[in-house]
A and B are shown apart, each in its own frame.
Chain A
Amino acid sequence: MTQQTSPHDIRGNPVRVGLPMAMLAELTHRCPLACPYCSNPVELARVSTELTAAEWGDIFRQAADLGVLQVHLSGGEPASRRDLTEIAASARDAGLYVNLITSGIGLTEARLRELDGLVDHVQLSLQGIDAEMADWISGYGGSFARKMQVAEWIGQIGFPLTLNAVVHRQNLDRLPEMIDLAERLGCRRIEVATVQFHGWADLNRRPLMPTREQAQRAREVVNQARHRLRGRMVVDYVPADHHATFPKSCMGGWGSTGLNIAPDGIVLPCHAAQTIKGLEFQNIRDAKLTEIWHNGPAFNAFRGTAWLPEPCASCERREIDHGGCRCQAMAMANDPMATDPVCSRSPFNARLRAEAEADAASDDVALVYRRMSREKRT
């Protein structure tokens, strides 16, 4: 009798369910920028399906009751929502720590002043160190100048600021200047994140894949900066997957600490989870968050480590990385239960490395920009 109601993984093993700490709230997939590595799915959610501010308010209360401490207001570009202030206020009212993840484009000084006292922390994306690079990568003329203006307003109001530098082969050589810029802007923190080659980025592997030498050099730059800036600015670094020996612990373990709500209300264990065919995702419009978190089949599918096949099942690292990224396993091995091909013990690892080397050696610079297919504006 209990078998039907107790949560179980994709192979029917019972799982233990913890509580989520953080929730990514994708308020919209609209964005003025067209970055070719966007983490949004290639199939973007339409404006007409977006959750309302009132629905978000209810979700934030449910999330706080469930144990979520921090909410990341993201997109797309969250500033593309005219009701962003109302949404941020409801998150704060629910008792959540509110983090705004933005490109800055679309934020006005007046809007930022409205958000003063509602938003705890701002993360500003950086596409390049100058207008030439940043406007090319973002596909939006004038974006760099606009972003620098927004950064100035953020500093004047006094929001704590993190600069999110997304790095790839085209801009990685200028990492030292990105760190200098963060320092000049008075950032408390810079996050240097190498492009993750899923979704849109996978369409742009040839122009974006960093070389092995670049990845090594970036590691040295980060280590030097950490030493030099100790006590002044935190430097976080997400290295390139393809040069690692072992995979990252994706999401800190599937369904263990984080969840993601897409603009149309689909609740996901990670932002790319919809690339995994066969999983059943629920919508917050149809079920309560606690029900989805605790009993949702997609959340339970890869919880724990009992479902892991070999070589993960007998691996001494299985409780560290949980077999790595399910979406990456799906993409390359066509099997979401397979060992992350990034792992040196995966049978697909040789192919993954060879492809990464070939992509990194390409002199292709033609970008496939992230664009929304046309629809009637509401």
Chain B
Amino acid sequence: MTGPRISNLCVPYLPRGVRLYDDRVRGIRVLLAPERAMQLDPIGDAILSELDGQRSMAEVILTLCERYNAPVEQIEGDVHEFIAGLVDRRMVFLAAADEVTP
């Protein structure tokens, strides 16, 4: 099922119509998207909370490594797998690095 690997130079972002939400009734974090509501575990929440439409995959991975004091190899795999699944479902978009407006 794995498609071509996402470049670490790409800038991932939540497109319009996809947003993180604090579900205060259930006490969980969810990703809301067209016809979808996805419960996030703490790892998924941490990854998506870093997507600001400015920083590349590589920068997001490094930030998470520092925050969780974890090796790059481990974080990189988690981030790529998680983001790739959401790209397939059109819940995360990818911009090429040169498309990002400063």
Binding site for B on A (CB under 8 A): 19, 21-22, 64-67, 69-70, 95, 97, 99, 120-121, 123, 158-160, 162, 188-189, 191, 230-234, 236
Contacts and interface: CB of A to CB of B under 8 A. Distances in A.
Contact of B25 (A19, A70, A97, A159): A19
Interface in B3-30: 3, 15-19, 21, 23, 25-26, 30
Q: Which bracket fits the contact residues of B?
A: 10 to 19
A188 B90 contact: yes
A159 B18 CA distance: 11
Contacts of B21: 69, 95, 97
22 contacts: A66-B25, A69-B23, A69-B30, A70-B32, A70-B37, A97-B21, A97-B32, A99-B35, A120-B32, A159-B16, A160-B16, A160-B18, A188-B17, A188-B34, A188-B90, A189-B34, A230-B3, A231-B87, A231-B88, A231-B90, A232-B90, A234-B89
Contacts of B32: 69-70, 97, 120
B15 to A, nearest CB: 7
Given A19-B26, A67-B26, A99 B88 contact: no
Contacts of B37: 21-22, 69-70, 97
B17 A120 contact: yes
Given A120-B19, A160-B17, 11 more contacts: A67-B23, A69-B37, A70-B35, A97-B19, A120-B34, A121-B34, A159-B17, A162-B35, A191-B35, A231-B90, A233-B90
B88 A230 contact: yes
A189 B35 contact: yes
A233 B32 CA distance: 17
A22 B21 CA distance: 15
Nearest to A64: B25
A125 to B, nearest CB: 14
Contacts of B19: 97, 120
